Copies of this chain bind each other. A is one copy, B any other.
Amino acid sequence: MNSCRTSTADTQQALTQAETLCQQRGVRLTDLRRRVLEIIWSSTTALGAYAILDVLREDGRQGASAPPTVYRALDFLLEQGLIHRLVSLNVFTVCHQPGNPHNGQFLICQDCGHVNEMNNLEIDHLLRAETDGCGFETRTRIVEILGRCSKCLEESARHD
């Protein structure tokens, strides 16, 4: 698995957008929170809390060496819709449409770790129809699909 995105332009743009959103909302994107967001954006794969913690430790920043530090930052980023949590793997990944709250559907490659976030409204509607039919009040929708991405499929086909 690649461990770094090829371009940091996306990351910089995302950080700028996050800064803007937080200002508009009157919440503080502190150094720590920005750094955690940057770490997640800088990885091609979704990261677990302790993997993020390792990077913070490499930073050599004062403190930042204990789990609560990273979990609190992650909680903030989740609240602000800047990242998503993938419950099937206990990892965190970036959101490409912060600003408009959504649940999303995630295609997760078990070979290369790549995560593809979809936002298919049809699926949302269908799930809503299903819950409405049961009189169920939805708070959170989780749709995660595990398997192999097209790239890894081609890769393995070449080696046959």
Contacts and interface: CB of A to CB of B under 8 A. Distances in A.
Interface of A: 87-88, 105, 107, 109-110, 116, 118, 120, 122-123, 126-127, 130-131, 134-150, 153
Most buried by B among A87, A118, A136: A136
B148 A136 contact: yes
A21 to B, nearest CB: 25
A141 B145 contact: yes
A119 B63 CA distance: 48
A149 to B, nearest CB: 6
Given A134-B150, A135-B153, A127 B140 contact: no
Given A105-B130, A116-B134, A126-B122, A142 B142 contact: yes
B145 A138 contact: yes
Given A88-B87, A144-B142, A145-B142, A127 B134 contact: no
Given A107-B136, A136-B107, A136-B150, A143 B127 contact: yes
Contact of A107 (B131, B146, B147, B148): B131
Most buried by B among A120, A137, A147: A137
A131 B147 contact: yes
Contacts of A142: 87-88, 142-146
